[in-house]
Amino acid sequence: MATAYSLGEIAGLVQGAVEGDPTLRVLGVLPFDAAGPEYITCAASAAFLNRFEQTRAGAVIVGRAARCTGKPLVRVDNPKLAFAKVIALFHPPARPFLGIHPKACTGEGFSCGTDPSIGPGVVIGSHVTVGDRVTLYPNVVLGDNVTLGDDVCVYPNVSILERCRIGNRVTIHASTVIGSDGFGFAPDGEHYHKIPQTGIVQIEDDVEIGAGNTIDRAAFGKTWIRRGVKTDNLVHVAHNVEVGEDTVLVAQVGIAGSVTIGRHAILAGQAGIAEHLSIGDFAIVGPQAGLAKSVAGGQVVSGSPAIDHKLWLRAARVFAMLPQMLKRLSVLEDRLARLEEAKQNGNGSGYPQDS
């Protein structure tokens, strides 16, 4: 049976203020248009606040200054953040298995913290250390000498290869590979010789890695995903890349080797970053941008090759007009050719005559 919480308890969780009955209990959380009288919802934007009276929810999370009445409210500074916390309250993460499943395989020297959840088919190499409350879903592979911190959750079919280090409160979604070899080959005539990739991947605390990511180990040293980074699905991070704190990498971003990205940057979907570039703090690289030169902190770039976003908007407008401009140019070229022909024939036809 679902656990009910009072508005007072919810307000305490989100540092909010109750407007109405703090003892009112709600059974769960639902979207604005789906919530019924026993549920709490959120009206964070003007689109929902403008039709506030239409929701059937028993209580609503709103901003401190929101002009709405007629229902019990929880007023907060950041409604969207508060809503996320309330969702997590009603939907805590499930743990598939308590303890170490008998069909998990652990190598020698395995060190495990308290309260593990290690499912069937998990393979753990030698001298691996995992912290407290670690969850490993079925078919996870941890290579030799891997280290995981506390409260790490690794979803099915993830491989974390030898010597890689994962911090605390990290989530890694299904089918991601951490520590695959960097793409390094030395040309040898018509052939290529593999350059050994001797480094590691280090992922710091509070990082979430999406499904199907590939994060390559460094040639030397480390590929470094710093605290609070969030990646979407199908992101590729090459060898020796450093991704700064709280940076977001959206779906299908591809980052070539030895790129340095500052903190709180955003790389939008399908952006491609050439090797050895730097991207500054709070920079934004637009969707499908092809970055061929470094980007300063706070700069916004778009297009391929990427240029300043405002300039790209102007260029994109011109690009859409090119067929019409080409047609007009053809007409002008034809008129100019006829004028030149008239001049050569000596009749001018409106063209200035030589004295």
Q: Which residues are catalytic?
A: 239
- Report the run of H or E that residue 160 belongs to, with start and end: strand 159-160
Contact present, 58 and 36 (Cβ < 8 Å): yes
Radius of gyration of the chain (CA): 29
Q: 253 is written with which tokens?
A: 């971003």
d(CA 151, CA 176): 18
- Give residues with Cβ within 8 angstroms of 274, minimum separation 6: 256, 259, 290, 291, 292
Q: Are strands 200-203 and 59-63 parallel, antiparallel or unpaired?
A: unpaired
User: Would you state the structure tokens that stand for residue 318, as one six-digit string?
Assistant: 């011109």
Give CA 28 to chain center in angstroms. Answer: 28
- Within 8 A by CB and 6+ apart from 62, the residues are 42, 43, 44, 49, 68, 73, 74, 75, 76, 79
Amino acid at 52: F
60 secondary structure, DSSP code: E
What is residue 320's three-state secondary structure? helix
